């Protein structure tokens, strides 16, 4: 009888991973989170700690020197890091986003070349799909790659690229057949930071996730060897969108993490803060608010974990569950972090407490890897097809 319910219990391995990551996040990441935000600096201490503990890219398969973590374990890593610092949680999240197209669609040679350095922590991996005029409408991208003998010549730009300038490798989507069918005329390539003609725009000045650099990528006649194509010509957008089906779940995990961090901070504060002769935690209005926050966080967590299990199995309904989990969890993160600021009152609005940073960081989870409006479209299409 008990075996029927095992899928509602995390395995001992998953619980052990959570314990290990939480220790790293508490000791090596949380102490620097405010400073990383204040100075808008890459969280190098967090990166070093994550590499040392093999949590910087836990999804890389063991055959390429990685930890071989499953989708749920990777989500737990991202959740626990985001609980301390959302900027730092983008290290494992974006390493997966940037390299998953290779895992899903690249030749064995490309995987063997680029995944081991990622697994060793010698190189970060970013994902370059969006452009200024091609955000949600990805198929309208203008970036072009033209064949020249055995090479491709890349021209154009990409926008809003996470960890740009830090990462060594970039999975870049470009139109390779301008006259081909829209959406089936895009190919994917690995671009290396050192490639001649490849440069970066100025860092974006952002509301949140300030420790994670976001920049434009500029390609000026960048020559790419033909063996760096990911998948076959014209398969790029299909691989890119399949990637997002899986990695949206990691954004859901990030959202759960920041919401949990804000809830923890609020609970701690209201037990200490006194008004009218008693702790404000004793007021029923505050208790109801905390209860609603906690129920929302737990619901989001269960949705994310279910979607992660579907990601691991490659279930046919992953697009629905991935979109739903990302959308719901990020809406929860925004509401819970805002309520946490409210619970702390005037103190919550200052940088002396982490909740204002968490509120600013939470907002991006509703926007990147597909806005929540796009997620609702994905969900609705699955309902109506």
Catalytic residues: 369
Closest among 182, 194, 179, 293 to 236, alpha carbons compared: 182
- Please state, in angstroms and rounded to a whole number, the distance separating the CA atoms of residues 48 and 31: 14
Closest among 172, 211, 178, 210 to 191, alpha carbons compared: 172
Closest among 193, 175, 180, 179 to 236, alpha carbons compared: 175
Give me the half-sphere count of Cα atoms (radius 13 Å) on the Cβ side of residue 335: 15
Pairing of the two strands 125-128 and 169-175:
parallel
CA dihedral of residues 244, 249, 251, 253 (deg, nearest 10) = -170
Count of C-beta atoms within a 10 Å radius of residue 274: 11
- Please state, in angstroms and rounded to a whole number, the distance separating the CA atoms of residues 80 and 67: 17
- Please state, in angstroms and rounded to a whole number, the distance separating the CA atoms of residues 377 and 372: 9
């Amino acid at each position: 009888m008990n075996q029927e319910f095992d899928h509602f219990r995390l395995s001992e391995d998953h619980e052990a991973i959570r314990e290990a990551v939480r220790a790293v996040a508490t000791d090596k990441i949380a102490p620097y989170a405010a400073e990383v935000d204040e100075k808008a600096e890459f969280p190098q201490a967090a990166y070093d700690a994550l590499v040392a503990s093999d949590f910087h890219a836990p999804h890389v398969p063991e055959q390429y020197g990685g930890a071989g973590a499953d989708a749920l374990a990777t989500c737990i890593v991202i959740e626990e890091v985001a609980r301390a610092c959302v900027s730092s949680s983008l290290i494992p999240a974006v390493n997966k986003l940037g390299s998953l197209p290779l895992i899903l669609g690249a030749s064995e040679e490309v995987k063997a070349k680029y995944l081991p350095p990622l697994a060793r922590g010698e190189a970060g991996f970013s994902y370059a799909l969006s452009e200024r005029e091609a955000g949600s409408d990805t198929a309208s991208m203008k970036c072009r790659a033209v064949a020249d003998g055995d090479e491709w010549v890349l021209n154009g730009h990409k926008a809003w690229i996470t960890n740009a300038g830090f990462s060594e490798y970039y999975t870049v989507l470009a139109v390779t057949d301008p006259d081909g069918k829209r959406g089936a005329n895009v190919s994917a390539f690995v671009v290396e930071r050192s490639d001649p003609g490849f440069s970066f725009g100025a860092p974006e000045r952002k509301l949140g996730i300030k420790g994670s650099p976001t920049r434009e990528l500029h390609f000026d006649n960048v020559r790419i060897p033909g063996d760096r194509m990911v998948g076959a010509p014209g398969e790029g957008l299909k691989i890119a969108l399949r990637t997002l089906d899986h990695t949206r779940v990691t954004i859901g995990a990030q959202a759960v993490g920041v919401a949990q961090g804000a809830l923890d901070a609020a609970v701690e504060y209201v037990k200490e803060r006194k008004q009218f002769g008693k702790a404000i935690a004793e007021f029923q209005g505050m208790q109801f608010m905390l209860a609603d926050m906690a129920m929302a966080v737990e619901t989001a967590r269960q949705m994310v974990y279910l979607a992660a299990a579907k990601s691991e199995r490659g279930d046919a309904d992953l697009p629905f569950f991935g979109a739903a989990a990302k959308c719901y969890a990020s809406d929860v993160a925004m509401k819970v972090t805002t309520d946490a600021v409210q619970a702390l009152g005037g103190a919550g609005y200052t940088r002396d407490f982490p909740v204002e940073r968490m509120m600013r960081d939470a907002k991006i989870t509703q926007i990147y890897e597909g806005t929540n409006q796009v997620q609702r479209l994905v969900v609705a299409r699955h309902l109506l097809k």
